[in-house]
Copies of this chain bind each other. A is one copy, B any other.
Amino acid sequence: MAGDINKNGWLRIVGLGPGADALITPEVSAVLSAATDVVGYVPYVDRVAPRPGLVRHGSDNREEIRRAEQALQLTADGCRVVVVSSGDPGVFAMAAALFEALEKAGPEWRSLDIQVLPGISAMLAASARLGAPLGHDFCCINLSDNLKPWGVIERRLRLAAEADFAMAFYNPRSRARPEGFARALELLRQACGPQRLIAFARAVSTPEESILVTTLGEAEPEMADMRTLVMVGSSQTRRIECPAGPWVYTPRSAS
């Protein structure tokens, strides 16, 4: 990247929430209205309505660093740029990629006007639909081994089980890596026992939403795809049967 910095530009790295417009914060809606350029993965850019004066730059998955460099360059050119992620931009999304690109880009780029604006993460949206599975201490792990060795994932799963955290898993399963999630389920069954609660929250707040609550003993790898947020309870997590479906919650106290 090169060139003079046009001080009129700004960059906002925002979260669009899990899908429903009613979950987009007014802060994010305001910067989308003021933007000249929206940058992101195609399906997320498609969530921003076209209008005169707005250029939408959709790019492919796994293009995060190139996309971040493009956003920095547009900002340096004086554009008002919004980088969109689903959910929250800081949770396995574009904010980290943007700062990786900024750090590599050299000191003259560090005067750019940059802000990160939070969004409702898939984890929080899934938690709300289920009840309160994250009502006590928890952890959040990306199960994709695109950017880390599978051994690191297994080690974290073991330690998370030992710590008795409730667990939220992003990117449990893709067509390219169908076997990892089966191994994760087997490891968790061994570590937590077959009665431990697990929930599959798919595409929460969209028309494709589906929720499934079961146990590690009954869970099948096919219950998850890349649009599923998987939650495994702690040893204290409970299920309340109700006419409209079960609630899942983790009590506030632990002994």
Contacts and interface: CB of A to CB of B under 8 A. Distances in A.
A131 interface: yes
Copies of this chain assembled into the complex: 2
A21 to B, nearest CB: 7
A6 to B, nearest CB: 16
**Which of A103, A131, A132, A139 has the largest number of chain B CB atoms within 10 A?**
A132
Interface in A74-116: 88-93, 95-100, 102-103, 110-111, 114-116
A131 B124 CA distance: 19
A140 interface: yes
Interface stretch (A47-55, A181-189, A215-223, A241-249): A241-249
A178 interface: no
Contact of A110 (B26, B93, B243): B243
Given A88-B124, A147-B253, A137 B132 contact: no
